[in-house]
Amino acid sequence: MRELGWPAAMPTIDRDSIVPIYQQIYEELREAILTGTLPESTRLPPERTLAEKLSVNRSTVVHAYRELVVDGLIEQRVGSGSRVARSAGQPARSADVPWWITLPPWRIGSFPQVLGELAATEHGDRISFVPGVPPLEPSPLAELAKSFERAAGDSDFVLSYGDSEGHLPLREAIAARMRSRGCTVDAREVLVLTGSTQGITLVAQSLAEPGDEIIVEGPTYPGALQIFGIAGLRAIPVAVDADGMRVDHVEAILRTRRPRFIYTMPSLHNPTGVTMNADRRERLLTLAERARVPIVEDDPYGELAQPAMPPLVARSPNYVIYLSTFSKTIAPSLRVGWITAPRTIYERLLLRKQSYDMATSLYVQAGIYDFLSRAYDEHVVRLREELIARRRIAREAIAAHWPKSMRLTGGGGGFYLWATAPREIRARALLDAAERNGATFLFGEAFYAASGGDHNFRLAITPVTREALVEGIRRIGESIAVLAAR
């Protein structure tokens, strides 16, 4: 059995990279196998040995090896460990190797790849402040179940595909709700989406070409950064302060550049919780109109803001593409959101949506429509109250367990707290320590298109019980103290 090429192929890992460590190990080994540094039949070190050498968890190496098995690059046999597969090496010269094995790792630029992490529900024993999901209480489940039962009453209908634009009664109900927030929108301008994530993708692919520039906030929603990165767009970040996006920075950029669109969350911004003030809203709209650059307003939390501000689209429907979702006010598992856009753009979005899924689940739309007409308003009122209570609990726990040197933004009532650690504490190091101590959160760099966020992190205050909220904050406080003492 050959051992050649090893340890020349020993992976090196960069703990500061936003690329997960298992993926770094996988990519390096893959490269070594494909270039022949690790020829066929070479035995790889046992998972435990490699984990010790690299000072990582054994499960990290297990994960990396599993990816190589899936690619057909290594074989694993009980008792004899892992070996480079016989057909794996030097594929460029081997006509037998399927072409997809030789595809390079799919990473465009260095965009954060956190959508999977945001969607995941499993975090082991740790108290997880990662996913932006509504709290378990108030639960919409009992009323939702009734709504689905009522929707199923018309089963022949709800079992079909339905219109790509969406279920008309639901579109009407959405338009009526938007009108009550000051918008002039008709049901026919509403396109129902399979989650607003789909809308961000549609916009990224319909309004811009790879290589085009767009303006985003810094920090911004990392899921959007992943989508923009995959679409090959180049994001120009604009800072956010207590009054929202720095519109003066947007103005400066627009003097010399023509981004394809401006992506913003003016109400209860994710992650900072800040709401853009009225002056800035007006200035941003004026700038966009003058420069003829559309605004993509992502507004999943607007209905939860108090006091509520009219969305940007209310003042400027011809320049604003508006996105929202039921993920934050009912449940993300429904995967239903919507978008409104000027007619010519709407047509493009619709055709592209059809190519993804033909239509959003009609059954789910019919259930949501019923829920909206009976139970939604009351549910949202209770949800707002719960968010306010949780924010108070979180702030009290932070005051009790974290040093005064930690700063917090996010007073507005949304799902998130955005924390800034003092210079000597890096958020990555804090995350490592907190995870060892049984709590986890999302580190700040994931929220920035370029650089930034080294000392920031986001806590979603919603995915845990109230008790776990306090306990998780206490655990993070312990980790802060350990790092501060170093």
Specify the residue, 23 or 226, whose C-beta has the smaller distance to ligand PLP: 226
Q: How far is the CB of 299 from ligand PLP (least distance, A)?
A: 8
Specify the residue, 89 or 266, whose C-beta has the smaller distance to ligand PLP: 266
Per-residue contact track with ligand PLP, 247 to 286, x per CB under 6 A? ------------------x----x----------------
Are 275 and 412 a contacting pair, CB within 8 Å?
Answer: yes
**Chosen residue from 11, 134, 294, 337 binding ligand PLP by CB under 6 A:** 337
Specify the residue, 13 or 331, whose C-beta has the smaller distance to ligand PLP: 331
**Chosen residue from 300, 412, 413, 414 binding ligand PLP by CB under 6 A:** 300
Specify the residue, 221 or 402, whose C-beta has the smaller distance to ligand PLP: 221
Q: How far is the CB of 131 from ligand PLP (least distance, A)?
A: 8
Specify the residue, 166 or 300, whose C-beta has the smaller distance to ligand PLP: 300
Per-residue contact track with ligand PLP, 133 to 172, x per CB under 6 A? ----------------------------------------
Tell me, letter by letter, the H, E, C secondary structure of the chain. CCCCCCCCCCCCCCCCCCCCHHHHHHHHHHHHHHCCCCCCCCECCCHHHHHHHHCCCHHHHHHHHHHHHHCCCEEEECCCEEEECCCCCCHHHCCCCCHHHHCCCCCCCCCCCCHHHHHCCCCCCCEECCCCCCCCCCCCHHHHHHHHHHHHCCHHHHCCCCCCCCCHHHHHHHHHHHHHCCCCCCHHHEEEECCHHHHHHHHHHHHCCCCCEEEEEECCCHHHHHHHHHCCCEEEEEEEECCEECHHHHHHHHHHCCCCCEEECCCCCCCCCCCCCHHHHHHHHHHHHHHCCCEEEECCCHHHCCCCCCCHHHHCCCCEEEEEECCCCCCHHHCCEEEECCHHHHHHHHHHHHHHHCCCCHHHHHHHHHHHHHCHHHHHHHHHHHHHHHHHHHHHHHHHHCCCCCEEECCCCCCEEEEECCCCCCHHHHHHHHHHCCEECEEHHHHCCCCCCCCEEEEECCCCCHHHHHHHHHHHHHHHHHHHHC
Specify the residue, 115 or 482, whose C-beta has the smaller distance to ligand PLP: 115
Size of the site for ligand PLP (CB under 6 A): 14
* Stretch near ligand PLP under the rule CB under 6 A, chosen from 1-9, 194-202, 231-239, 283-291: 194-202
**Chosen residue from 298, 303, 370, 445 binding ligand PLP by CB under 6 A:** 298
340 is an interface residue for ligand PLP by CB under 6 A: no
82 is an interface residue for ligand PLP by CB under 6 A: no
Specify the residue, 24 or 197, whose C-beta has the smaller distance to ligand PLP: 197
**C-alpha distances in angstroms, 93 versus 9, 89, 103, 357, 363?**
21, 9, 15, 39, 51
* Stretch near ligand PLP under the rule CB under 6 A, chosen from 45-53, 168-176, 193-201, 471-479: 193-201
Specify the residue, 294 or 332, whose C-beta has the smaller distance to ligand PLP: 332
197 is an interface residue for ligand PLP by CB under 6 A: yes
Are 61 and 47 a contacting pair, CB within 8 Å?
Answer: yes
Q: How far is the CB of 368 from ligand PLP (least distance, A)?
A: 12
* Stretch near ligand PLP under the rule CB under 6 A, chosen from 190-198, 240-248, 281-289, 433-441: 190-198
71 is an interface residue for ligand PLP by CB under 6 A: no
**Chosen residue from 11, 89, 132, 218 binding ligand PLP by CB under 6 A:** 132
Q: How far is the CB of 304 from ligand PLP (least distance, A)?
A: 12
Strand partners, 338: 192, 324
325 is an interface residue for ligand PLP by CB under 6 A: yes
**C-alpha distances in angstroms, 387 versus 277, 309, 412?**
21, 18, 10
Q: How far is the CB of 446 from ligand PLP (least distance, A)?
A: 12
Structure token digits, residue 111: 């965009």
Specify the residue, 390 or 475, whose C-beta has the smaller distance to ligand PLP: 390
* Stretch near ligand PLP under the rule CB under 6 A, chosen from 6-14, 41-49, 61-69, 325-333: 325-333
Instruction: Give the Cα separation of 11 and 6 in Å (integer).
Output: 10
Specify the residue, 363 or 415, whose C-beta has the smaller distance to ligand PLP: 415
Residues in the site for ligand PLP, rule: CB under 6 A?
132, 195-197, 221, 223, 265, 270, 298, 300, 325, 327, 332, 337
